[in-house]
Structure 1
Amino acid sequence: MNELRTGLTERALAVFAPVRGPALHAWIPATGAFIKRELALEAEQRRLFPWLAVAFGGGILVFFTVTDGMPNLWAPVAGAGIGLTLAAYLGAYPVNRAVLLVLAAACLGFAAGTWRVAQMAGPILSRTSIAPLTGFIEALDERDEGARLIVRVTRFGTLGESERPSRVRVSYRKPQTLRPGDFIAATARLLPPPEAARPGGYDFARDAFFRGIGAVGSLTGKIEVRPPPGPIPLSLRLAAAIDDARNGLTRRITDANGGQAGAVAAALVTGKRGLIAQETNDILRAAGIYHVVSISGLHMVLAAGVVFWLLRALLALLPSFALHLPIKKLAAGVAMIGVTAYCAFSGWDIAAERSLIMTLIMLGAILVDRPALSMRNLALAALVALAREPEGVLGPSFQMSFGAVAGLIACARWLDGRLLRREGSGWLVRGVAFVTSAVIATLLTTLVAQVATAPFATYHFQTIQPFGLVGNALTLPLVSLAVMPAAVIGILAYPFALDLPIWWMMGLAVRGMLSISGWIAGFGQANIVVPAFGAGAMGLLACGLLLATLPISRLRWLAVPPTFLGLGFAAIPERHDIFVDRDGQGAAVRSRSGRLVALGKPSDFVLEQWLKADGDNRKPAALADGASCDRLGCTVEAFDGRKVSWVRDKRAFSEDCARADVLITARIAPAGCPAALVIDRAHLGRHGATALRLTADGAVLSHARSEQRVPPWRAKAHTDINVPSSSVPLIQEAPQPDAEVSEDTDPARETRPQNLQ
């Protein structure tokens, strides 16, 4: 055996001898020279600056994902200051200076996250409670039945100012005439903003924290409109006036068109999506064009482009202006004002605000005679957006919008429609070449944007729209050439009450868009659900995208390894066999059939998240069959024969503890329960939503919460509140074991970010 091993070793050394010899010594300097030459090209083309934005975002990610507790702001600020000071004295050492600048940018990103969290910190409701509520309506989103309100709270039960959320989001069903700015009094059922429905899933509580919302729920009974107790703050009057104007224009557009065409047309102009039916949303998603109804990059660019083009064209018709004034810069300046006003009117949504920053920087580049669409400008826009809202780096809106633009800038050379044009040819040849190049450029632009955003969309939404290229190619010309120009002209005509015909014509284009979307949605497999993959695969794919788009040299080939590794990990995700609701109201178990079966009564939204994470495109109602249930609870046999029980009534504990391998309940399980694994209220209170993988060695648990790291948007454990002795308590805690959300959907459903570009 030793002789055989020695022989194999000698053969291996003989094979690799050329590499270990002079060839290796020649390869290392050649590689170093190649990298140095390519980096010099990057510096010459000013492509190193965007990496500072990447480092800034990396510092934010470290703050949100690694830190344990709230760090001191002075630490990252001091680190950035030291790095910048040392970099200033190392001008003769470019590599060292570059490293120090990257570290300084990362420290500044860390500081931005620390500052943002400190600024947004406020009371978060700690338990489900029912009590009288008074406050000002800050925003109102109308729906077919009732509305959803953002209320600035002045009183809720007996809670003091340090415990009472300053802003809450509530809904009501009964039709009642309410307007933004009204001071209302009603009985409210509020609950803490719900956390993720599964480990690694969408965390509504985080988004609510950064929007200043400390509770969600519903209003019950009569809603009184009262005189305000004091002067209304200017910020509230301004926000209420803008929202009231948005609602008025929304009603005017819907009345001019009617049906879902009117609802979609209104959403395109005002950003109010409450009147769009769920079926219409599903059709738009299946066609891959849902991003059209969310005010984001597409709307900002088209709105600015329409204003810019119209004003420049009008000024060009006046010889005195065209010959003596920089009409291009004038048009860019007016477009900046117009697109800012449009963003404010559309609600100043986070996605719209980021897109506004990007658009303003692009237009500002025209004012200083710089290329408008450049990677440097994109990096500057990312720095400004992340400095204002560092939490954006965690969400799909920022990731998809900046990823799409980075891909388009990197591929601009191949997307130029002039490549197929033939100058000097006859008018027919030039016309055909122009149309062909325009069609090819549109298709390539859509393809590049979809490829660049696909990793983020799949990670956050677990869906792929294979016909999205067709949907965007057929509908975006309508949006660009008819819908958005009509929107701009309609807004200008609105103060003169001359807008109704324009909204009607806009509705015709929207109906065409919906017809195309419905046709595409009817294709088989128009919406494919894929299993959720981990953050590691997402990180590798994001690195691949950065390396493929930011460099201009052959360093782009460095994107190949992380991209293929990320695709490999994403293709083999670890699927969970049991999902447990964050409140213990139900669970889903992989049964003998290999598919999930529901236990208890989790909300449809939660079931949708579990199904998508499992790569299952069934509807939530399909999970109802397969478990054995009665008034005391449910039981089911998992795929490997283990018994899983969900207990509703405490009388079932004695039987289910004895027979179940996994016992799940929203109650406190009795001490000494012999089940192999018990997930009860105490467990869920510490860990939140839980997911399990069943292996031969036992169950491997994943949690939405970490006991070691408590994020600032998690509600703290509540203490008992002294309730005055009266027939009607000023505040009462809602029943916990069998509590159900009073709304027809999960509070997180309709604010979950959608596919934005």
Structure 2
Amino acid sequence: MPHTRSSPASAARTRASEALGVAWSSGAGRAFPARMPDVGALLVAWLGEEVERRRLFPWIAVAFGVGVLLFFAAEGSPSLWAPVAGFGLATAIAVALRHRVWGLAAAIGCAALFAGFAAGVLRLRAVEVPLVERITVAKLSGFLEEAEMRGQGARLTLRIHAIEGIAPERLPRRVRVTVREARGLAAGDFLEGRARILPLPEAARPGGYDFARDAYFKGLGGIGSLLGPPRRVAPPGPPDWDLRIAALVDRARNEATQRIAGVIGGQAGAVAAALVTGKRGLIEEETNDALRAAGIYHIVSISGLHMVLAAGTIFWLVRGALALSAAAALRLACKKIAAACGMAGASAYCLFSGAEVATVRSLIMILVMLGAVLVDRPAVTLRNLAVAALIVMALEPETILGPSFQMSFAAVGALVAAGEWWSRRRPPTEPGGLMRRAGRWLLGAAIGLLSTTLVAGIATAPFASFHFQAANPYGMLGNALALPLVSLVVMPAAVLGMLAYPFGLDRWVWELMGFAVDGVLRSAAAVAELDGSALVTAAFGPGALGLMTLGLVIAVLIGSPLRWLGFVPALSGLWLSTIPDKPELYVDREGAGAAVRTADGRLAIAGKPSAFVMAQWLRADGDAREPDDPTLRGGTRCDPLGCVVSLPDGRAVAYVADRRAFPEDCRRAAIMITRLRAPPDCAAPLILDRAFLDRHGATSVIFRDGRPEIATVRAPDRTRPWLTGPPQARPIAPRPNASPPRQQPPAEIPDEEPEAVLGEP
């Protein structure tokens, strides 16, 4: 008999079967027990299979990500020398243990962890900018870097030149302001105007979305609004080269947005323009709500799906065109040329659409995978996905905290792992006639669409629930109806439209695209009208999410039967997510209002918190009511001086709006809340007044055995560069009858930016 060489995987499987006491039959591949398993040998065999199948490399990205998370869990501004020294030591150990597989793997993992921490430190130092520390009404001037037109007015990003009353060394680099009238403005203009500028808003609740952190890493030092139309004036000097490029791109994006929206019209035009240019300002909230309820809001955020479809369209167009020439097909590496063109097209699309974080991350993934084609490597593998994740985290470590990064890599990783599993079990294709092959292809396409939607939905569900407290039971139906149109018509039309746009021959393409987008919107509206299409889930802690993430990572990255161990942390995290700790009390960061749990188990509102803050509280509580629901005022007894709400145990919570209420409420209330400063002799056991909130920000309270446990967004002894408290705030003296404020670890994943998208996969 000829000698045949077994693969490492089959050899490892043989060793595992021997350890398990299983004999493999030569026919059907079924196994039967031969003896009791040797657990130790079985574990060694399965671990050996991981090594032989080269499955350890993706864990480097996991270790790097853990290092980034540790950086964001640190306090203050961590030093750089410590992680660099740790990286050097771990690297030296790796070299010393290079002949010992598991010692080498552990040392490399530690080195990657220290590298992730160092990446966070370097990124923090690179973006360090002054921040607006208090509400300021003053004249400002600066270059218009980006303008996003909306249904009414616009949102402008200004690169600041001067702000009246702020020293040059304390000037923020950028501020984002809204304006009611923006006609005639274009990126690159030098503007002057009077504005109301606010510090970066912190989380609306402990554990909630930290807008200040995300804005800080985008280079924003404040937000606000212009008090009247800005004036274009002569600049004090020429803009920087990067500003000139950014202005040129933004003007082109706005022109294309107006062209596409004008040709198509209506909300279909607004969505189509957003798909091409990334400008979402023209999309109305009603349309956004329908897309979210149908589970397809991700189509209006340019990320992985759009980049893959755009690069894929260019790839197949170029490869098909080259295949039409026999000489080119025989003499040229058509596939590599097409891959290079796809990389160039994806890069141009990323730049033109604004190069947002999700788009840049997706571009890196595309470049890595198409780059693998150039060097004759498989394009879609877990190794390539790990390389893309390492590049993204090294360049912008803060993205690991966001839903876009987590949902994208979770979905792609799960799909790659599922594809590998199916490729090993797929039955051989039987020959047949044309009709039979066509039927098989259609059935396979339908099953593929449903299965990929299911796999991606399961993989991303924990992150969607954690960030947005939302679940879309009909998301599979919405995606099944929308994605064929998006994949087969919308995105190919977008590519063709942009190719025809410079020639002025693009109208018919946009009309075709608008017809398909209108079909997508009709499908979304139909799904959104179904009962229970949008469910609100109570917020759960980062511990539950961490366990579910660990389970997903184990299931995706491990190829041997050890992957089933992922069910242990995944189910534990799922169980924890079903029993979240719901605070009895939420307090606004400025003391404008509070939400108190009443005897019926639901929240009641006292004071006048903003609608956005109330929406955050309600969603975190799993409450589907809107901020304007009149039942939110039930259970509160209010007069011009303030409000009183009773907790389920009968104790009174007083919200004081006028100083005249202090004598009575200090005497009878168990908890005092006010945006004023409470008198020093106030006898309330727990006081959350202006002095406390200035130092600690938004606050929540949970009662355990009758004692309050206080969680706050920030604390005086835990500072980060994007959390700047008012300098005039005074220290808080703890009261003898109340538990001292306890700082809850900052949320590792944001909920929602006030004007951001929901559910970016």
Same fold (TM over 0.5): yes
Query: What are the within-5 Å matches in structure 2 for residues 570-589 of structure 1?
Result: 570-589=577-596
1:754 partnered with 2:758: yes
Query: What are the within-5 Å matches in structure 2 for residues 432-447 of structure 1?
Result: 432-447=439-454
Show CA shifts across 1:66-123 (max 9, x none): x232222122112111211221122222221111111000000000001111111110
1:635 partnered with 2:644: yes
Residue type of the partner of 1:95? W
Show CA shifts across 1:201-233 (max 9, x none): 100000000000010010002421101111111
Residue type of the partner of 1:698? R
Query: What are the within-5 Å matches in structure 2 for residues 188-337 of structure 1?
Result: 188-337=195-344
> How far apart are residue 519 of structure 1 and its match?
0.4
Name which of 629, 646, 651 aligns with 2:655. Answer: 646
CA contact (8 A) 1:420 1:433 kept: no
Aligned to 2:604: 597
**Helix, strand or coil at the partner of 1:646:** strand
**Helix, strand or coil at the partner of 1:238:** helix
CA contact (8 A) 1:422 1:430 kept: no
Aligned to 2:61: 53
Structure-2 change in CA distance of 1:123 and 1:596 (3 Å): same
Name which of 682, 707, 710 aligns with 1:673. Answer: 682
Which fold has the larger relative contact order, with Cα–Cα distance below 8 Å and residues 6 or more apart in sequence? 1
**Helix, strand or coil at the partner of 1:214:** strand
CA contact (8 A) 1:127 1:718 kept: no
**Helix, strand or coil at the partner of 2:178:** strand
Compare 400-409 and 162-171 and name the one that shifted more: 162-171
Name which of 333, 345, 348 aligns with 2:355. Answer: 348
Residue type of the partner of 1:756? E
**Helix, strand or coil at the partner of 1:177:** coil
Q: Distance in 1 between matches of 2:287 and 2:78?
A: 45
Name which of 417, 421, 424 aligns with 2:431. Answer: 424
Name which of 690, 697, 709 aligns with 1:700. Answer: 709
Aligned alpha-carbon RMSD (Å): 1.8
Residue type of the partner of 2:679? P
CA contact (8 A) 1:42 1:553 kept: yes
1:64 partnered with 2:72: yes
Residue type of the partner of 2:301? S
> How far apart are residue 624 of structure 1 and its match?
3.8
Show CA shifts across 1:482-531 (max 9, x none): 00000000011110111122111101101100000000000111011111
Aligned to 1:383: 390
CA contact (8 A) 1:268 1:293 kept: yes
Q: Distance in 2 between matches of 1:180 and 1:459?
A: 37
Aligned to 2:673: 664
1:90 partnered with 2:97: yes
**Helix, strand or coil at the partner of 2:220:** coil
Q: Distance in 2 between matches of 1:719 and 1:680?
A: 15
Compare 546-555 and 668-677 and name the one that shifted more: 668-677
Q: Distance in 2 between matches of 1:268 and 1:625?
A: 43
Q: Distance in 1 between matches of 2:120 and 2:653?
A: 42
Residue type of the partner of 2:44? K
Q: Distance in 1 between matches of 2:211 and 2:374?
A: 40
> How far apart are residue 595 of structure 1 and its match?
1.1
Aligned to 1:548: 555
**Helix, strand or coil at the partner of 1:236:** helix
Residue type of the partner of 1:158? G
How many residues get paired? 704
> How far apart are residue 162 of structure 1 and its match?
2.5
Residue type of the partner of 2:55? R
> How far apart are residue 340 of structure 1 and its match?
0.3
Query: What are the within-5 Å matches in structure 2 for residues 413-562 of structure 1?
Result: 413=420, 419=426, 422-562=429-569
> How far apart are residue 672 of structure 1 and its match?
1.5
**Helix, strand or coil at the partner of 1:620:** coil
Aligned to 1:4: none
CA contact (8 A) 1:462 1:615 kept: yes
Q: Distance in 1 between matches of 2:84 and 2:223?
A: 36
CA contact (8 A) 1:204 1:752 kept: no
Structure-2 change in CA distance of 1:416 and 1:294 (3 Å): farther
> How far apart are residue 423 of structure 1 and its match?
2.9
CA contact (8 A) 1:419 1:437 kept: no
Q: Distance in 2 between matches of 1:43 and 1:718?
A: 55
**Helix, strand or coil at the partner of 1:702:** strand
> How far apart are residue 670 of structure 1 and its match?
1.1
CA contact (8 A) 1:63 1:110 kept: yes
Q: Distance in 2 between matches of 1:418 and 1:308?
A: 29
CA contact (8 A) 2:295 2:474 kept: yes
Show CA shifts across 1:4-38 (max 9, x none): xxxxxxxxxxxxxxxxxxxxxxx999333222211
Name which of 717, 726, 732 aligns with 2:726. Answer: 717
Structure-2 change in CA distance of 1:47 and 1:414 (3 Å): closer
Q: Distance in 2 between matches of 1:576 and 1:262?
A: 43
Structure-2 change in CA distance of 1:384 and 1:471 (3 Å): same
Residue type of the partner of 1:671? P
Aligned to 2:30: none
Show CA shifts across 1:552-594 (max 9, x none): 1111011011011101111111111111011111111112222
Q: Distance in 2 between matches of 1:232 and 1:269?
A: 28
Percent of residue pairs identical: 51
**Helix, strand or coil at the partner of 1:134:** strand
CA contact (8 A) 1:443 1:473 kept: yes
Show CA shifts across 1:182-204 (max 9, x none): 11111110111111111111000
1:621 partnered with 2:628: yes
Q: Distance in 2 between matches of 1:32 and 1:71?
A: 42
Normalised TM-score (structure 2): 0.90
CA contact (8 A) 2:653 2:671 kept: yes
Q: Distance in 2 between matches of 1:624 and 1:228?
A: 52
> How far apart are residue 639 of structure 1 and its match?
2.3
**Helix, strand or coil at the partner of 2:228:** strand
Aligned to 2:13: none
Show structure 2 runs of 5+ residues with no match.
Answer: 1-34, 730-750
Q: Distance in 2 between matches of 1:348 and 1:359?
A: 14
**Helix, strand or coil at the partner of 1:162:** helix
Residue type of the partner of 1:174? E
1:32 partnered with 2:40: yes
> How far apart are residue 655 of structure 1 and its match?
2.4
Q: Distance in 1 between matches of 2:224 and 2:584?
A: 31
Q: Distance in 1 between matches of 2:752 and 2:412?
A: 29
CA contact (8 A) 2:468 2:752 kept: no
Structure-2 change in CA distance of 1:586 and 1:544 (3 Å): same
> How far apart are residue 175 of structure 1 and its match?
4.7
Name which of 350, 374, 380 aligns with 2:381. Answer: 374
Name which of 406, 409, 412 aligns with 2:416. Answer: 409
Show structure 1 runs of 5+ residues with no match.
Answer: 1-26, 721-746
> How far apart are residue 684 of structure 1 and its match?
1.1
> How far apart are residue 644 of structure 1 and its match?
1.3
Aligned to 2:4: none
CA contact (8 A) 1:139 1:151 kept: yes
Q: Distance in 1 between matches of 2:296 and 2:540?
A: 24
Show CA shifts across 1:126-147 (max 9, x none): 1111111111110001001110
